[in-house]
Structure 1
């Protein structure tokens, strides 16, 4: 296996890790409107991800940085083609981070309510846009012989990509509901389980349709296996929710996300951005990669830094592993 193939796999792993972790993060943010009935319950939901949301975003930073260094042509075409969607994503990420940090800085109810609304809306928009972005990457974009995107903004909002946005929205919200059931006690935990059951049925249908479409369009034997694993894990997660096995349901919903994202990357390879105008103009792991020496240096750095980051983040989750409820929320001033 060549180094550019290795780095394609590593970037896929980084995106898988990001969607697994930030998926329930976005889902909890969306649930602040769908599940919480009062301010105290909103604070419970936010506190379940409060210690870890910023660590989850490290995976995104690493994935984007690795793409920039290992596949500069991919990075350049990707960001130019998705200029406005990426701008919206960046704004939402910034506003969301500020909302977590500034929500509790003042005691006024309106101040805190505004930041809570910001958490909900940015989580919702991000959950949809990531599906739209990856849907377009897999489907293929209007890339010319100079590796430049020549389509319009509206070309990005095609039926396949929009379905991808609905899939990530449903999948992340379901993942967040399962995580909420795992991390809370009392009425919130019970309502999270019931909501997860309702969301799970819709999510299974959307995921199955989207992955079948992907398989029919760009599938192979490997993607077929990944698709079966994703759908089976999602159905099993729904069954675990109904049985009250919250740990298993969270693990299985995570497996569904891992398998679904892995299927998208398997459908891409050896392309990184297929051209819908001419297959010969597609960006591949070969023509979009950096020099072998650059990839070699990156590999050594990643081999040292990645285990340390994963150990630290695992330790963070272990420290904040206990369940919380409204009884753990201090009275407002």
Structure 2
């Protein structure tokens, strides 16, 4: 196994970590406009992710930086071809940060409503657009012999990609609902369980079609195994949610996210950007990677720093592990 194979796997792990963690963040943002009945409950919802949302986004920065350093040709083609969708995601993430920080700066109902609407939409849109982007990467896009994207934005809005966007939106909403039921108490906990049941059922229907489509188009034995794990985990999460076993439901919904993302990368490998014009023009892990020396230095840095980051983030979740309710919200 070459270092570029290792770094492809590491980048896949980074994206799995990002979607596992930021996935429930997005879900909570979407549910903030649906579950809360008053100001106190809205504050409870926001406070469930308040201590951790910024740490979760570190995984995105690391995944992007690792792609740039390990596979510069992949990074260049991806960010030039997907410029507008990725820019839209970036703008949403920036506005979302502002919404978290600015919502409580003024004791004015209209001011708070503005930022609550911003939080809702800037959680919903990235949850959808990430699915569109990754579906297009797996499906293949118009890349010419020079490794440049020659399609348009409309080419990215194909049925397969739009279905992928709906899958990630439904899955992240389900993941967020399970997280809310795990982190809260009282009426909001019960409503989160009901929301998880509906969102999980929608996810099951959409994901079965999308993942089966993916498997039939370019899957292999490894991706089929990941698909089976995703299906079993999702059914288990739904069953655990029905029995009010929130810890198991959240664990299994996280396994669903991880297995689904892993399936996409297993389907993609050894390509990193397949060409829909000519398979010979596809970017692969070998021809899109950096030099062996660069990958070696990156491996040493990752081996030293990654455990420290994981320990710190794990400690953060441990400190803020307890449930919260409206009784914890000061008047």
Map of 1:324 onto structure 2: 324
Counterpart of 1:65 in structure 2 is 65
Mapped partners of 1:204, 1:235: distance in 2: 8
Per-residue CA deviation, residues 236-268 of structure 1 (Å, 9 max, x unaligned), is: 100001111100000000000000000000000
The reply on whether 1:259 has 2:287 as its aligned counterpart is no
Structure 2 residues without counterparts, runs of 5 or longer? none
Match of 1:289 in 2: 289
Deviates more, 1:97-106 or 1:14-23: 97-106
Report the alpha carbon displacement of residue 204 of structure 1 after superposing the two structures with TM: 0.6
Stretches of 4+ moved more than 6 A in 1? Answer: none
State the match for 1:243 in structure 2: 243
CA distance in 1, matches of 2:68, 2:199: 36
2:62 pairs with 1:56: no
1:25, distance to aligned residue in structure 2 (A): 0.4
User: Aligned partners of 2:44 and 2:238: how far apart in 1?
Assistant: 24
Deviation at 1:223, TM superposition (A): 0.6
Cα offset, 1:117, TM superposition? 1.0
Q: TM-score, normalised by structure 2?
A: 0.99
Q: Quick one: distance in 1 between partners of 2:210 and 2:180?
A: 26
Aligned counterparts, 1:207-246, within 5 A: 207-246=207-246
The yes-or-no answer on 1:172 pairing with 2:172 is yes
CA contact (8 A) 2:43 2:329 kept: yes
Contiguous gaps of at least 5 residues in structure 1: none
CA deviation after TM superposition for structure 1 residue 110, in Å: 1.2
Distance of 1:174 and 1:250 partners within structure 2: 9
1:148 counterpart residue number: 148
Give a deviation string over 1:285-322, Cα, whole Å, max 9, x none: 00100000000000000001111001000000000001
Match of residue 98 from structure 2: 98
* Distance in 2 of aligned mates of 1:194 and 1:163: 24
**Cα distance between partner residues in 1 of 2:315 and 2:201:** 34
Match of 2:194 in 1: 194
TM-score w.r.t. structure 1 length?
0.99
Q: CA deviation at 1:57?
A: 0.2
1:315 & 1:5 partners in 2: Cα distance?
31
Q: CA separation in 2, counterparts of 1:116 and 1:8?
A: 38
Aligned ranges 1:277-316 → 2 under 5 Å? 277-316=277-316
Q: How many equivalent residue pairs?
A: 331
1:163 matched to which residue of 2? 163
Aligned to 1:275: 275
How far did 1:326 drift?
0.8
